[in-house]
Chain A
Amino acid sequence: MCLAVPGKVLSVENKNEDLKMAKVSFGGIVKEVCLDFTPEAQPGDYVLVHVGFALNVMNEEEANETLKLFAELAEADERL
Chain B
Amino acid sequence: MKFIDEYRTKEPALALSEKIKSIISEPVKIMEICGGQTHTILKYNIEEYLPKVVTLIHGPGCPVCVSPVSMIDRAISLAGCKNVIFTSYGDMLRVPGSESDLLRVKAEGGDIRMVYSPLDALRIAKENPSKKVIFFAIGFETTAPANARAVLEAVRTNQRNFSVLCTQMLVPPAIEAVLGNPGVQINGILAAGHVCTVMGTREYEVLSEKYRLPIVVTGFEPLDILQGIYFVIKQLSERKSFVENQYSRAVKKEGNLHAKEIINKVF
Contacts and interface: CB of A to CB of B under 8 A. Distances in A.
A78 B15 CA distance: 8
Interface-centre pick from A70, A74, A76 (highest chain B CB count, 10 A): A70
A37 B258 contact: yes
B140 A52 contact: no
Interface in A25-64: 26-27, 34, 36-39, 46, 48, 50-53, 55-56, 58-60, 62-63
Contacts of B62: 1
Contact of A3 (B19, B36, B149): B36
A4 B197 contact: yes
Interface in B134-159: 138-140, 142-143, 145-146, 149, 153, 156
Given A48-B197, A50-B194, A77 B36 contact: no
B16 A55 contact: no
Contacts of B14: 74, 77
A63 B250 CA distance: 9
B117 A51 contact: yes
Contacts, number: 138
Given A39-B258, A55-B256, A62-B248, A1 B89 contact: yes
Interface-centre pick from B4, B139, B197 (highest chain A CB count, 10 A): B197
Interface of B: 1-4, 6, 9, 11-12, 14-16, 18-19, 34-36, 61-64, 89, 91, 116-120, 138-140, 142-143, 145-146, 149, 153, 156, 192, 194-195, 197-198, 220, 223, 227, 246, 248-252, 256, 258-259, 262
Given A39-B258, A51-B118, A62-B249, 18 more contacts: A2-B34, A2-B140, A3-B194, A4-B197, A5-B4, A18-B153, A38-B256, A50-B194, A52-B117, A53-B149, A55-B145, A55-B250, A58-B250, A62-B248, A70-B227, A74-B14, A76-B15, A77-B11
